[in-house]
A and B are shown apart, each in its own frame.
Chain A
Amino acid sequence: MTGGVVATAGGPAGTVRAPRADEPPTGAAGPSLIHEAVERHARCTPDAVALVDGDTRVPYADLNAAADAWAAELRDRGAGPGGFVPVLLPRSATLVAAILGVLKTGAAYAALDPEWPVERLRSVARVLAPEVTVADGSRDGWEGPVWSPPARGPRGAAEQFRGRPVGPGRQVDGTSPAAVFFTSGTTGRPKAVVSGHRATVSLFDGGFEPFHGGPVRPVMPQAAPVSWDGFTLETWGPLINGGTSVLLAGGYLMPGTLRALIEREGVNTVWLTASLFHLLLDEDPDCFEGLRHVLTGGERLSVPRVSAFLDRHPAIALTNGYGPVETCVFATARRVRRADCDVPSGIPVGVPVPGRRVHVLTDGRPAEPGTTGEICVSGDGVALGYLGDEELTARMFPTVALDGVPTRVYRTGDLGFQDTEGVLHFAGRADRQVKVRGHRVEPEEIEAVVRALPGVADCAVVPVAPAPAPGPGPAANGDNDDNGGGGGGGGFERLALFYTAATEAADALPPQAVRRELAGRLPRHLVPDLVRRQADLPLTANGKLDRAALLRTLRPGNGTEADA
């Protein structure tokens, strides 16, 4: 990889942002591996709290000692450089120590949600082909050896093993795989995104504002699903910076919990998907009191709510982040200011974060400022590829000549433009991928699973936008048939599935049965919220599926079929 290449001055404006003065040069001294970056703090501030898990506080020394001990166990079971180790544990201090242990063996981790349907877990395991899996007790139907961390967790392990020599490291470098994230794919199988150590370290050790230096260490709740790069943000963000990750018991950060964590644990930084940020602002706008930094993004922000937040909390920095998981957490970010609320295209997504560069391309060439094209990202943040899918990797991560320099980029499929100052603005999707409540969804993936159900003839999965807010609010822009993938609105609120049955018998394959089948095959965020059986799927005049007509059937008063 040719990291650190900087565009020569004089290239077309807006193609490549000029390097910022505060951007540290790539390859500067400093750790290049996630676990090295955490080990630093075990040496310098061994007693500082790394993790809070309920009433348990795990200091850096104990976290590191436990990870060393568990790495030795995993190494004995075949984990090592080049391997992928699934970790199926609930959110806990044990989970974080186990992941750190995996990294210390030189292998990459894939944190999987133990609540996923067994079938999805199995299909994921096949892609990973692991030597060993970390899980609680025995997993029914799991192929291959399972190692379970001691029930006493990291503190116990640390007491038992402290001082035990660490095995040989250094067989991996910053470009080695560190993590595998699973994201919605179009084929009915999730895509396994392989992210290198440097993708994470370049961001969090590279001067990214919310985590950057200062006497105050980041203290963040960890609430995102552990299988996503939200976990990277909420765990490695603090741990690489000597801060604290506060592990949430449940799956949802409620405003009351946030208040309690700010008060009790000194939480000062929080990540919320745009939908959740909006919800908390609606329901409990003062629950942010006491925070230093709120990071949000993943979907278009609501301007009236951002404006209300800025009025109410002038002392809290608000950052809008943008970036698909293939760019690891964020590609760009914007410290939101009042004037951003007047930008016609919405709150900008900002400038590249450390370790990433952004290129807006049309027909493979850099677009002029103000011209919309496909957002492409290069640099240390970009994933190594999709595990087990070389063809897709080659397609989505091409090497293109930018200013005469061959540059490996990730094609996001997102549309956007850069203004004359190089600030990126989001402008929708080039395909059917959508964000539903902040989750990335490929409707084709769900459709492929539905079509495979016995008795289903055909189907369509259609995202449903929120109903227009009563009273003053953003004007609904025509019908809900905007195919810009949420580009016209604030993301989607729910997924509707319409299907036809193979037989015409009225009682064949009721929606409830279809929904139940899907709940057994898909993670919760991909299971359609509304399921309806249709006699036919309507087509437009030119023979395409008429999504607008389907959506119209959902309006109140049009419910002729029972919902599932």
Chain B
Amino acid sequence: MSAPHVSTESTSPADDVAEVVLSVVAEVTGAGPHRLTDSFYDVGGTSLDAIRICLRVGRELGVDIAPETLLDSEDLAGFAAVVSAARDDRHEQDEWDARGSRDDRDGAR
């Protein structure tokens, strides 16, 4: 049931997140394809589905996502945006930590 494999080189990081979201939602609900404009309720999702989706998306992208994020999103695009922001935050944090460990905090950029 995996989504057709699109080369990710030409797409932005946010598009990657959206692709992961759509493929995981399809995998968990056993239906699809869904559109980013679908709300989680349009696809018949339950709170347990939300937990599974957030776990799997989180695992794939290396972030922690609370199920409320999905349950409270207007649509899947909104959810993907929050996930994307969380991933960027984490990357920033990782970079910061890496910089901190090299002990050259003042030499940013």
Contact = CB atoms under 8 A, between A and B. Distances in A.
Given A284-B55, A515-B41, A529-B41, A250 B66 contact: yes
Interface in B53-79: 54-56, 58, 64, 66-68, 71
A493 B41 CA distance: 14
B46 A529 contact: yes
B6 interface: no
B82 interface: no
Contacts of A282: 52
Given A279-B51, A284-B55, A556-B31, A529 B68 contact: no
A515 B30 CA distance: 22
B46 A494 contact: yes
Interface stretch (A251-259, A332-340, A423-431): A251-259
Nearest to A255: B55
B47 interface: yes
A467 interface: yes
A92 interface: no
Given A255-B55, A279-B52, A284-B55, A494 B44 contact: yes
Interface string A101-123: 00000000000000000000000
A524 B41 CA distance: 12
A45 B90 CA distance: 41
B87 to A, nearest CB: 16
Contacts, number: 53
A282 B54 CA distance: 14
A437 B47 contact: yes
B46 A437 contact: yes
A252 B44 contact: no
Contacts of A55: none
A534 B44 CA distance: 17
Contacts of A341: none
Contacts of B66: 250, 252, 254
B55 A276 contact: no
Interface in A471-526: 493-494, 515, 524-525
A252 B53 CA distance: 13
A78 to B, nearest CB: 36
Contacts of A529: 41, 44-46
B106 interface: no
Nearest to A531: B41
- Candidate in A254, A279, A493 with the most chain B CB atoms within 10 angstroms: A254
B108 interface: no
A252 B45 contact: no
Nearest to B54: A254
Contact of A283 (B42, B55, B68, B71): B55
Contacts of B68: 250-252
Interface in B23-44: 30-31, 41-44
B47 A524 contact: yes
A564 B48 CA distance: 19
A493 B48 contact: yes
B65 to A, nearest CB: 9
A54 to B, nearest CB: 15
A563 interface: yes
Interface in A279-308: 279, 282-284
A115 to B, nearest CB: 10
A255 B67 CA distance: 12
Contacts of B51: 252, 254, 276, 279
A556 B54 CA distance: 24
A94 B45 CA distance: 33
Contact of A279 (B31, B48, B58, B71): B48
A530 interface: yes
Contacts of A64: none
A275 interface: yes
A467 B44 CA distance: 13
Interface in A236-275: 250-252, 254-256, 275
Contacts of B64: 254, 256
Contacts of A530: 44
A563 B34 CA distance: 13
Contact of B46 (A255, A493, A563): A493
Contacts of A279: 48, 51-52
Contacts of B30: 467
- Which 5 pairs show the lowest CB-CB distances between chains A and B? A252-B67, A494-B46, A250-B66, A530-B44, A283-B55
15 contacts: A250-B67, A250-B68, A251-B67, A252-B51, A252-B68, A254-B51, A254-B64, A254-B66, A256-B58, A256-B64, A276-B51, A279-B51, A282-B52, A493-B48, A564-B41
Interface of B: 30-31, 41-48, 51-52, 54-56, 58, 64, 66-68, 71
Given A276-B48, A515-B41, A564-B42, 16 more contacts: A250-B68, A251-B67, A252-B47, A252-B67, A254-B51, A254-B54, A256-B58, A279-B52, A283-B55, A494-B44, A529-B41, A529-B44, A530-B44, A556-B31, A563-B42, A563-B43
